[in-house]
């Protein structure tokens, strides 16, 4: 997998995941919506750690600033 996420994108995703987790575990969001958002937060954390977003690939989007060698 080629990296397609930059550091700012990764930080934003981790912050959003932390906020969702905090809201879920404090009981602010619950039920089906809470579970869906918790899964989404897990996906955000996972994609941040591997620096690859599968939704960026089909569209050719890359927020990564690393230049490839030819």
**Is 69 within the bounds of a domain?**
no
Residue whose structure tokens are 């912050």:
15
pLDDT tens-digit profile of 29-67?
Answer: 999 999 999 999 999 999 999 999 998 888 888 888 866
Q: Which two tokens stand for residue 30?
A: 């619950």
Considering the entire predicted model, what is its pTM? 0.83
Looking at the structure of the chain, the number of domains it has is: 1
Give me the pLDDT at residue 68, please: 56
> Residues 6 or more apart from 51 whose CB is under 8 A from it?
3, 4, 5, 10, 64
**Is 68 within the bounds of a domain?**
no
Q: If pLDDT is split at 50, 70 and 90, which confidence band does 17 have?
A: very high
**Is 5 within the bounds of a domain?**
yes
Q: Residue 43 belongs to what domain range?
A: 1-63
23 CA to centre of own chain: 17
- Helix residue ranges per DSSP H, 4-66: 7-25, 31-50
């Amino acid at each position: 997998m080629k990296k397609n996420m930059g550091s700012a994108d990764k930080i934003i995703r981790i912050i959003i995941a932390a906020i969702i987790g905090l809201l879920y575990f404090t009981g602010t969001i619950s039920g089906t919506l809470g579970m869906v958002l918790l899964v989404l937060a897990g996906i955000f954390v996972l994609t941040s750690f591997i620096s690859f977003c599968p939704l960026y690939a089909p569209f050719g989007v890359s927020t990564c600033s690393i230049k490839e060698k030819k």
